[in-house]
Amino acid sequence: MDLDKDNANPTIINPSDLPSRRRSAPTTKRAGIFDVLAPAYPTLLAAPSSPPEAQSDISSDSEEEEDREEIDEQEVYDLISTISDPEHPLSLGSLGVVTLDDIKILTPTSPRSRISTVTVLITPTTSACSLTTVIGLGVKVRLVNALPPRFRVDVRIKEGTSKTADEVNKQLGDKERVAAAMENKSLVSVVNNMLATCE
Amino acid sequence: MPAITLLATLSPPCNARTWSSTPHPHLPIIATACSDKTVRIYSLQNFQQQSTISGGHKRSIRSCAWKPNSRGESVLATGSFDASAGIWRRWEEGGGNGQDAEIDFTGGLSGGGEKDEDDDDEWRFAVILDGHDSEIKCVTFAPTAPLLATCSRDKSVWIWEELEDDNFETVAVLNEHEGDVKCVAWHPSEQLLASASYDDNIRLWGEDVDDWACCALLTGHEGTVWCVEFEDANNIYALGSSENLTSEQQAYVQVRLKAGPRLISCSDDMTIRIWRRVPKDKPELPAGQIKTPSIWKNRDFEEEWIEECRLPQVHERPIYTVNWSKKTGKVVSTGSDGKIVVYEERWKSSKISNGDADGDVVMAGGTPAPDMEDLTAKKVHGSEGHMGGLTEWVAVAEVENAHDVFEVNHVVWAPRADKDKRTEDEEVIVSTGDDGEVNVWTLDT
């Protein structure tokens, strides 16, 4: 089996050397992230068919929550470093696929805008890793589901680390393709396995 | 500066992402394609859901289209991520003709959305169109012929001809795109189809003798082209009546009339571009700019389109939809940044003595396409290439966070139909978002 892997002997980082703030990070596990076809936004799940008044209450609640809840790079790292690699029984953090330095958060570009952008650069374990797209998808799905909806999630391959980077970047940046992939049962099952090790 | 004001949110909203909304050609209703595999039909008179279509598709419904000129009965095409397209029928009020005695439609004719708002049983599944290998992204009926176009992630565009009711035959499978085909749009008066692709290109397709083939390739976008649309032929008159125009402006109007409706496109590259056909029987070129015959393509079938201009760049993330008002010529756009922006085309106030002045004119917004500065383009298109510089596009209104913090997937102009409408031909903007909501906006001047 190991012969089929793109990188049978990856460099592994000792878990205790990985940056983490897990103990203090809020662990709000949301059950069944693929129960709905669209992104499982908490406000929608909380009030699937509430009347307009109730909805506006909820959105003002979530605004307050946004103000309270500042999210930094470390928190994003903690959300994705525990994702399992699809071909090794190891986390993306310990394989160095995701690193704290390659996560950037851009705050809203204007005072009126409430949209922040998280950019994650992933480093495939080998330059020919055929599973790069799946890893990227796993990271994207994890963040879209775990972060508040005001975050736009851009997942890209770190420059110079993969021959197919442009192609993979374009796929991961294509909302329609990501949405369709999440309606594909076999892909969802692969991604679910990767995310099973996340808190 | 005009304001975009929220008039209503259609009720009830969907619990999952909504992809796009398509106004009915003559009834005050709109069909919303939802990722929960349903289509919701809402009334634009009272903003309530009127009916739903469900149970037909196995995955997201991405797009829907109303068949034009189907008086008496509404016909809706649906395109789904399950790779199939569906055709659905529903009698309009007073439209039933009793031809099919099997179907009991007498109990629930409502049509205009004025009564029986929750009568969900009226939509009849008519036929399923199979053929695409993967997700269908867009479906659209031709306005001039009984043709339906569909496009897919399988990189193909299919053209279906409806020979008789519900009997669709594949007349063309067009495979020249090198990536997903995201959107297809018909020319308003010719049998000409535009397609936008993940390969960053736009292609135009026409019927050459007996076969459909690509007649133009429009390159320039630096990212996925998400949406294309032709303008209405009457848009030119939105610029003002001819007696008040300078001779140069009148010449531009003539070029536009000869070229026919322009095409607009929006892209992942955050630009919106307008493309114009170079007419074949062109007016005489100024001396010294006579083209050599070899520059021109041999076949009459092939067309030449040039990028006329770009709209002011307001969006900060990929632009998913651009839509051209048939009534006012205004353009509305939306995308990942959650903004809705309205643009208007105006005559430039500063007079331009010749085409070379393009680069010197300070513009409120629209930038001339770089191609126009290009020597080759100048040689080929002569003075016409520069005539786009006579008008400018200005962003006249903008709203941020149109769907709270969510992405907005689609935006479209629709006739205003609620009781508070101010003028006979007032329009509203209808936006469709990731939050599952469809919002209706007015443009207040």
Q: Is the confidence at residue B373, as pLDDT, over 80?
A: no
- β-strand pairing of B340-347 with B331-335: antiparallel
User: Which pLDDT tens digits describe chain A residue by residue (199 residues)?
Assistant: 444 566 667 778 877 778 877 654 444 444 444 444 444 443 333 333 444 444 444 444 444 444 546 899 999 999 999 999 988 889 999 999 999 999 999 988 788 888 999 999 999 887 766 789 999 999 999 999 999 999 999 999 998 877 788 999 999 999 999 999 999 999 999 999 999 998 7
When the pLDDT of each residue in chain B is averaged and rounded to a whole number, the result is 85
In a domain, A47, yes or no: no
In a domain, A17, yes or no: no
Of all residues in chain B, what percent carry a pLDDT higher than 90? Answer: 70
Q: Is the confidence at residue B353, as pLDDT, over 70?
A: no
What angle, rounded to 10 degrees, do the helices at A132-146 and A185-195 form?
70
Residues on chain B touching A166 (C-beta within 8 angstroms): none
In a domain, A157, yes or no: yes
Domain that holds residue A179: 71-195
A29 C-beta neighbours (distance < 10 Å), count: 8
Please write the tens of the pLDDT for every residue from B322-346: 999 999 999 999 999 999 999 999 9
Whole-number Cα distances in Å, B445 to A77, A109, B240, B415, B426? 47, 27, 18, 17, 12
The confidence band for B349, taking pLDDT boundaries of 50, 70 and 90, is confident
* Token duo for residue A170: 């374009």
How many Cβ contacts (< 8 angstroms) between chains A and B? 86
Whole-number Cα distances in Å, B300 to B187, B195, B207, B304, B379? 18, 21, 12, 10, 20
- What is the average pLDDT across B218-222? 98
- Residue A178 is part of a domain; what is its CATH number? 3.30.300.130
What angle, rounded to 10 degrees, do the helices at A73-80 and A132-146 form?
120
Please write the tens of the pLDDT for every residue from B187-218: 999 999 999 999 999 999 999 888 999 999 99
* Chain B residues with at least one Cβ partner in A under 8 Å: 9, 11-12, 15-17, 35-37, 59-60, 62, 81, 134-135, 137, 153, 180, 182, 198, 224, 268, 316-318, 320, 336-338, 400-401, 404-407, 434-436
In a domain, A177, yes or no: yes
The confidence band for B413, taking pLDDT boundaries of 50, 70 and 90, is very high
In a domain, A30, yes or no: no
- What is the average pLDDT across B79-108? 68
Cβ–Cβ below 8 Å for B338 and A41: no
Cβ–Cβ below 8 Å for B224 and A183: no
Please write the tens of the pLDDT for every residue from B156-178: 999 999 999 899 999 999 999 99
Which residue in B60, B182, B337 is closest to A37 by CB distance? B60
Of all residues in chain B, what percent carry a pLDDT higher than 70? Answer: 80
- What is the average pLDDT across B347-368? 50
Q: What pLDDT score was predicted for residue A59?
A: 44
Q: Which of A175, A182, A186 to mutate to test the interface with B (most CBs of B within 10 A)?
A: A175
Instruction: Kindly write down the DSSP assignment for every residue of B163-179, as one continuous string.
Output: EETTEEEEEEEE---SS
- Domains for chain B: give ranges and CATH numbers: 3-282+292-444 (2.130.10.10)
In a domain, A110, yes or no: yes
**In total, how many domains does chain A have?**
1
Q: What pLDDT score was predicted for residue A69?
A: 62
In a domain, A166, yes or no: yes
User: Which stretches of B159-313 are DSSP H helices?
Assistant: 247-259
Q: Which of A37, A49, A140, A169 to mutate to test the interface with B (most CBs of B within 10 A)?
A: A37
The confidence band for B236, taking pLDDT boundaries of 50, 70 and 90, is confident
What gap in Å lies between CA B28 and CA A39, rounded to an integer? Answer: 31
| A6 Cα distance to chain centroid | 23
- What is the average pLDDT across B5-14? 97
* Token duo for residue B228: 């294309």
Cβ–Cβ below 8 Å for A176 and B182: yes
What global pTM score does this model have?
0.83
Residues on chain B touching A38 (C-beta within 8 angstroms): 16-17, 35-36, 434, 436
Q: Which residue has the higher pLDDT, B199 or B235?
A: B199
Cβ–Cβ below 8 Å for A170 and B224: yes
What gap in Å lies between CA B194 and CA B174, rounded to an integer? Answer: 12
Q: Which residue has the higher pLDDT, B92 or B418?
A: B418
**What's the CA angle centered on B353, arms B350 and B355, to 5 degrees?**
100
Residues on chain B touching A52 (C-beta within 8 angstroms): 9, 11
Residues on chain A touching B400 (C-beta within 8 angstroms): 110, 112-113
Cβ–Cβ below 8 Å for A52 and B9: yes
Q: What pLDDT score was predicted for residue B245?
A: 87
In a domain, A43, yes or no: no
Q: What pLDDT score was predicted for residue A128?
A: 67
Q: Is the confidence at residue B243, as pLDDT, over 80?
A: no
CA of A40: which chain B residue's CA is closest? Answer: B16
Residue B376 main-chain phi, psi, to 5 deg: -60, -45
Cβ–Cβ below 8 Å for B436 and A38: yes
What gap in Å lies between CA B287 and CA B296, rounded to an integer? Answer: 18
Q: Which residue has the higher pLDDT, B101 or B397?
A: B397
CA of A41: which chain B residue's CA is closest? Answer: B435
Residue B55 exposed, middle or buried by CB count within 10 Å (0-12, 13-18, 19+): exposed
Q: What pLDDT score was predicted for residue A7?
A: 67
Residues on chain A touching B62 (C-beta within 8 angstroms): 176
